[in-house]
Chains A and B, each alone.
Chain A
Amino acid sequence: MNNNKNIMIVGVGGQGTLLASSIIGQLAMDCGLDVKQSEVHGLSQRGGSVVTYVRYGSKIASPIIERKQADYILSFEKLEALRWADYLKPDGVLIMNEQEIYPMSVISGLAVYPIDVADQLISKGINLIKVNALTYAQEIGNSRAVNMVLLGMLAYKLDFNYNKWEKTIKEHMSSIVQHTNLQAFAMGWNLHDRA
């Protein structure tokens, strides 16, 4: 129908989902595409479930993505992958970080954290890619670069070449942290070959 790409980045407030979406949006713009991005600030950032939408293509109207419309979902956390999985297109891809962050409903005993997230997703017929991004980030000695490992994994699937990603990532951060973040990004990018 059209060549627009719909990407959702989901996770827990404070995990750094906004940086990843901002890099994708900037890159798409630099490649001459129309872009819309929607994010939520304020209350939800205090440990709540957060979602960012990035849409790019020849012409984008709505800034939001609805059920069964996402080409890709990049989930920073397992439970959030489950929560938003319905938003994936039938042929979409879900990239899931294997980090578990217990919500207060679980901590206070009102709910149980599902132990079989991956199985549930696969039984829904979802095209799932799992990654323990923290271990890879720690491998390069920067546990904060989890988001860049994940972005690298997503980026490999998208339509832009590696050099352009590298350039945009550099523009988004100070020179001090560029090196480890690019390392983390490259690691994510190359994970597809390892798998």
Chain B
Amino acid sequence: MKLLSGNEAIARGAYEAGVRAASAYPGTPSTEILENLAKYDEVYCEWAPNEKVAVEVAQGACFAGARTITAMKHVGLNVAADPMFSLAYIGVNGGFIIVSADDPGMHSSQNEQDNRFYAKFMKVGLLEPSDSQEAKDFAINGFDISEEFDLPVMLRTTTRISHSKGLVSLGDRKEYPLRAYNKNIAKYVIIPAHARKMRISLEQRLKKLAEFAETFPGNRLEGEGHEFAVITSGIAYQYAKEALGDKATYLKLSLTFPLPEKLVRNFVEKFSQVYVIEEGEPFLEEQIKSLGLTVKGKDIFPRFGELSPMIIRQALLGEAVEAGNSSANFPVRSPVLCPGCPHRSVFYAINQMKAIVTGDIGCYSLGVTPPLSTIETCVCMRASIGNALGLSKILTDRKIIAVIGDSTFIHSGITGLIDVVYNQGAITVVILDNAITAMTGHQHNPATGYNIKNQQTNKIDLENIVRACGVNKIWQVNSYDMHELTAALTSATSCGQTAVVIARQPCVLLNKDDCSDKYEITAQCRKCKKCISLGCPAIMIKNDKVVIDSQLCRSCGVCAQICNFGAIRKVGSAYE
């Protein structure tokens, strides 16, 4: 037995099932799956530059006959949808699992799209684990199903599955011989003539899987409660058990696409009232209703936010809904850029340019919050560059700056930049190069020169890429040097051409040592609060004095550079 998170359990399950290859792009809450798989020498693992590439690499390994897994956050599948739709037609050679880790409640995401609909839309098998043990078991089942029914399988988790820990019993790895790869254009080349045949076989494959779903042990009746009849899946199953316990009879579904129609029909017809308890959208409910059956679901349960036992008790047991959250009066504590974060100084300098600033996905999305309030748009990975170009073509009298991180630039920013050069956009793209994929917990990317197993590899040089895209105006600056930053931004935003500023300084969290040379505020302080406007968590007003918390200070020295009165200095240094 081991206490594993859902993500750790998926990695373990894939390992035990003989997985040989894995490719992914980091994204909360999916990241730890590949991080844990990378610990096994038997598995080829890689960080791909983006989710679409990850799926394509995984497909190649699958075609080669290996059991293969890819993993991404829900919105990552939007990027990877193209190869996934084709793969459903093509089918597999070695078993293929795609993990979609959804984020109801948007703990760390821009939306809460319910990717179970993708499984139905793409026409692939769908497994929904409800705890870590099932996460491991279904990873193993998923490969078997994939190979037996010639279909990719989606293993769909949510934040509470991926990041909750539970007890998992471990097994040994089972080696599966590679399935032979033979040239087979009718299977692997999806031209219309082939695709039309695949289209028909896809329906046949799904039909067989639907029959299998009727007896799959993860789809089962549970309990003998008389008060409620419940159909449920995923984490909602645990919440329903917590809330209703022995009061209910459950149809616990795990293989939810294709739906086991007979099992569902028999269950619904046995009871006068059946409740469908699922988190997010009415995925099961719509399918069940389309069978002509009557159930209750989203008319009493919310379709947004996270579900909880309390919500179920309120809907079914009449528990009183508490009036408001009494904590609403307390000061909010939103995530912030860390003390010493190299993005802070860049945003501060950008603010002096009086430009429209488009943002992107990463820690630097936090540049939207006061007091910096730099970013004005944030849509999805890479959107900063396209948004900036579009803005510049309409608001021709405004300066436009796009900010994008190193990993996001590699993910998809490059094609955006090519568009800017090609269509003669006079915008400034600032690449915030902190030498890591920071927000998801410090994963390497092609620009860091290290791979997922922390081995040195070819390093993609950002400046060379920018130059190769056709950009002639390039500045490379130290993010902590306010003078350099301001000079580069001033030139870039007034040159009338596509300009790129690469601002470099490693993520402050990469250096775990306690730094020396902390800064302090001296008696020369006039309380102008200019340093406070940096939004550094280490600088605050206490007892009517501006102070730097030495526990928090990371010695970046940016505050000392912007102080007009020379009132900030290193602790212990002499007055100048």
Contact = CB atoms under 8 A, between A and B. Distances in A.
Given A46-B338, A104-B369, A35 B165 contact: yes
Interface string A101-142: 111111111111110000000000000000000000000000
Contact of B163 (A40, A43, A110, A112): A40
B235 to A, nearest CB: 8
A61 B239 CA distance: 7
A22 B308 CA distance: 23
Contact of A36 (B32, B166, B332, B532): B166
A25 B241 contact: no
A108 to B, nearest CB: 5
A63 interface: yes
A83 B540 contact: no
B3 A26 contact: yes
B28 A49 contact: no
Contacts of A14: 338
Nearest to A2: B245
Contacts of A106: 331, 540
A66 B3 CA distance: 22
Nearest to A34: B167
Most chain B CB within 10 A, of A26, A86, A104, A112, is at A104
A43 B537 contact: no
Contacts of B131: 36, 63
A143 to B, nearest CB: 8
A90 interface: no
Given A42-B439, A111-B331, A102 B540 contact: yes
Contact of B238 (A61, A105, A143): A61
Contacts of B292: none
B532 A43 contact: no
B338 A43 contact: no
Contacts of A143: 551
B79 interface: no
Nearest to A40: B107
Contacts of B336: 46-48, 103-104
Most chain A CB within 10 A, of B239, B366, B537, B551, is at B537
Interface stretch (B253-261, B322-330, B392-400, B568-576): B322-330
Contact of B28 (A13, A29, A43, A114): A43
A111 B335 CA distance: 16
A98 interface: no
Contact of A43 (B1, B107, B330): B107
B337 interface: yes
A35 B167 contact: yes
B159 interface: yes
Interface in A57-104: 60-64, 66-67, 79-80, 82-84, 86, 101-104
A26 B440 CA distance: 25
Interface in B362-387: 363, 366, 369-371
A41 interface: yes
Contacts of B540: 102, 106-107
B441 A42 contact: yes
B20 interface: no
Interface residues of A, number: 51
A190 interface: no
Contacts of A104: 333-334, 336, 369-371, 535, 537
A103 B165 CA distance: 29
A114 B333 CA distance: 13
B309 interface: yes
Contact of A107 (B1, B107, B537): B537
A107 B535 contact: yes
Contact of B327 (A47, A86, A102, A109): A86
A108 B331 CA distance: 11
A8 to B, nearest CB: 13
A80 B330 CA distance: 9
Nearest to A36: B166
A170 B258 CA distance: 48
A39 to B, nearest CB: 6
B130 to A, nearest CB: 9
Contacts of B369: 104
B241 A61 contact: yes
A38 interface: yes
B441 A41 contact: yes
Given A61-B242, A103-B334, A84 B166 contact: no
B331 A112 contact: yes
Interface string A1-43: 0000000000011100000001001100100001111111111
B160 interface: yes
B335 A46 contact: yes
B443 to A, nearest CB: 12
Contacts of B325: 86
A105 B334 contact: yes
A107 B131 CA distance: 40
Contacts of A62: 238-239, 241-242, 308-309
Nearest to A103: B333
A47 B335 contact: yes
B68 to A, nearest CB: 25
B29 interface: yes
A29 B167 contact: yes
A103 B333 CA distance: 5
A43 B327 contact: no
B108 interface: yes
A79 B330 CA distance: 8
Interface in B129-153: 131
A43 B378 CA distance: 15
Contacts of A108: 370-371, 532, 535
B489 interface: no
A46 B343 CA distance: 13
Nearest to B438: A46
B17 interface: no
Contact of B310 (A41, A63, A67, A109): A67
Interface string B234-270: 0100110110000000000000000000000000000
5 contacts: A38-B160, A39-B165, A63-B160, A63-B164, A108-B535
Given A46-B366, A114-B330, 12 more contacts: A25-B165, A29-B1, A34-B167, A39-B165, A41-B28, A47-B338, A61-B239, A63-B166, A63-B235, A104-B336, A104-B370, A107-B535
Interface of B: 1, 3, 28-29, 31-32, 107-108, 131, 159-160, 163-167, 235, 238-239, 241-242, 308-310, 322, 325-327, 330-338, 363, 366, 369-371, 439-441, 532, 535, 537, 539-541, 551
Give 3 closest A-B pairs by Cβ, nearest first. Answer: A42-B28, A42-B108, A111-B331
